[in-house]
Amino acid sequence: MSLFSLEGKVALITGSTKGIGKAIAQRMAEQGATVVISSRNQDACDEVAAEITARGNKAIGVACNINHKDQLQQLVEKTTAALGKIDVLVCNAALNPFFGKSQDIPDEAFDKIMQANIGSVHRLCQLVIPGIAESGGGAVVIISSIGGLKGTDALGAYAISKAADMQIARNLAVEWGPKNVRVNCIAPGLVRTDFAKALWENPDIYAATVKNYPLRRIGEPDEIAGAAVFLASQAGSFTTGQTLVIDGGGTIAS
């Protein structure tokens, strides 16, 4: 069997109706996993799940607003009721409602970012990891960002939340390693998604960004998906607590 096979595995991916999350779900399904598509809107979840099953792969859709703990609980309950277990958790859903200086961010926006981007990851890990451990082990992949590696005067609160993702991965890797649960982050650079549209659609921002990227272009969602498959599969079975940077070299160049 391929080192990258996910045959027989159940993978729950938050924020998976678009962008990076969708690419991860499609590629994990291609490797044999049954994937759970999740975002706020049930119709959108069902639509993506149908796209995947139409290709002969396995998927179901379960809507969830990650900001509510009871909905996270229901997401886990519905998944285990339908599929019996969870082997792989991908915490991908995140938001950024504010672009500007830390001095100017309203309390509500700051709290919302921390709640959605850190709180929900922490709580979902609490809800899911014991079950992963019970079934013999598995993997958690948290989608962080290179924003969490450097200072910024435009995305401060978002960057704090993304740096926190990396520490969550390190803490949980130490806490759950003895039970064979691995926890890692992926830190993408600028990727062509709706989430980052404001940054790549503007030709001036685009040009300024890729000028500093050694590969001279932004990333595509599929270029993040392969790393998630690696981390979730046997290929990644000795990798834990790490942050894998995928940014065409942007971070090491500047």
Binding site for other proteins (CB under 8 A): 3-4, 170, 173-174, 177-178, 180, 182, 213-217, 219-220, 223-227, 229-230, 233-242, 244-249, 251-253
| Catalytic site includes residue 213 | no
What is the smallest separation between the CB atom of 169 and other proteins, expressed in angstroms? 8
Length of the chain: 254
CB nearer other proteins, residue 5 or residue 71: 5
Comparison of 77 and 175: residue with beta carbon closer to other proteins: 175
Nearer to other proteins, 11 or 229 (CB): 229
Cα–Cα distance measured from residue 77 to residue 221, given in angstroms and rounded to the nearest whole number? 29
Closest CA to 26 of 48, 4, 41: 48
DSSP-assigned states of every residue in 129-162: HHHHHHTT-EEEEEE--GGGGS--SSBHHHHHHH
Nearest approach in angstroms of CB 181 to other proteins is 10
Give 109 or 149: the residue with its C-beta nearer to other proteins. 149
First to last CA, the chain: 41
Contact yes or no for 46/69 (Cβ under 8 A): no
Structure tokens at 73: 């609980």
Q: How far is the CB of 91 from other proteins (least distance, A)?
A: 18
Closest distance to other proteins from the beta carbon of 150 (Å): 14
Residue 3 or residue 154: which is nearer to other proteins going by CB?
3
Identify the active-site residue in 4, 158, 176, 213. Answer: 158
Token representation of residue 60: 């179901």
Pairing state between β 181-188 and 138-143: parallel
Q: How far apart are CA 38 and CA 17, in angstroms?
A: 7
Shortest Å, Cβ 135 to other proteins = 17
What one-character-per-residue DSSP string does 23-77 give? HHHHHHHHTT-EEEEESS-HHHHHHHHHHHHHTT-EEEE----TT-HHHHHHHHH
CA–CA separation, 235 and 143 (whole Å): 19
So which residues are the catalytic ones?
Answer: 158
